[in-house]
Chain A
Amino acid sequence: MIINHPLLGPRDSAEFVYLGAAELMNRPDPETASAEDWHGYAYLRDNPAGVHRELWFHEGGDRSILIVTRDTTTHEISAVELARKPRAQT
């Protein structure tokens, strides 16, 4: 699988480490979050057969974290962006 890094161009996915769903960037506000919010953040994930937004860490490269939009049934990647905004759009 090839991931088209927004800054460095196409790179082998072997250089990356998978970090899970992009929703992990939407951490609940510690001041207001309930126990249910934390439970959902820590444990509950959708498991879509289809388009999935996920975090990939370029560990073997520039160490940036990317948000990759990937179809889990075909591995087709439709979008790659830097995960630099404070909150991921879902």
Chain B
Amino acid sequence: MHDLTPITALGGTTPRVDTVGDVTLTEVPNVALASVAARLGQESACAKKLKSLLGATVPEPGRAAIGRDYAALWAGPDQWMLSADFDTHEDIAVHVKSHFSNTASVTEQTDAWTCFDLMGPRVNAVLELLCNIDLTGFDTGHATRTGIHHLGCFVIRTDARQSVRIIGPRASAGSLHHAITTAMVAAL
């Protein structure tokens, strides 16, 4: 029998929480991810499958959608990133692939990414330092990939005024965490 202790992307046994002023950064380890890319000629069939999997409208460019068991964000033309609760969907890619069949290529992404929730009334002040998203039009349900600290990250607006979810490369979790907390200290 092995005797391994599960750890988060930042190396702790419990998710890291940092609070500066009125903004809190929370590490979110229980996110399962899979990418879905429509195969050539199967774009509309793939979008139909995505709609039935989500139970919600397929997200347009620059948007995210929350469905029953899965949430999806638009990652590129005819490509989406799907997320689900890790506790119930640890094998997300298998479930998603069986649903999409040959209409899409599905890749397990869970262990490639780390997830942070940034919440608080002045979250925009932190985001302005971190990335070049135009925050004036960045409303609830908007999601985009942009550069934070030279790392390609997905930023999802979960609440229009005070929260975003940031999904960044897991191998650089420490650097991303450093960048966000540094911006929090500088902005707040």
Contacts and interface: CB of A to CB of B under 8 A. Distances in A.
B77 A8 contact: no
Contacts of A84: 77
B77 A64 contact: yes
Contacts of B75: 62
B62 interface: yes
Interface stretch (A9-17, A29-37, A46-54, A71-79): A9-17
A12 B146 CA distance: 10
Contact of B62 (A8, A12, A63, A82): A8
Secondary structure type dominating chain A contacts: loop
B67 interface: no
Nearest to B145: A61
B61 interface: yes
Contact of A7 (B77, B145, B146, B152): B77
B76 A63 contact: yes
A20 interface: no
Given A9-B62, A10-B134, A14-B132, A60 B76 contact: no
Interface in B93-144: 132, 134, 137, 144
A14 B115 CA distance: 24
List of 10 A-B pairs having minimum Cβ-Cβ separation, nearest first = A7-B61, A62-B76, A60-B147, A12-B132, A8-B62, A63-B76, A61-B145, A64-B77, A60-B152, A64-B76
30 contacts: A7-B61, A7-B77, A8-B61, A8-B62, A8-B144, A9-B62, A9-B134, A10-B134, A11-B132, A12-B132, A14-B147, A15-B132, A15-B147, A59-B152, A60-B145, A60-B146, A60-B147, A61-B144, A61-B145, A61-B146, A62-B61, A62-B76, A62-B79, A62-B144, A62-B145, A63-B76, A64-B76, A64-B77, A82-B77, A84-B77
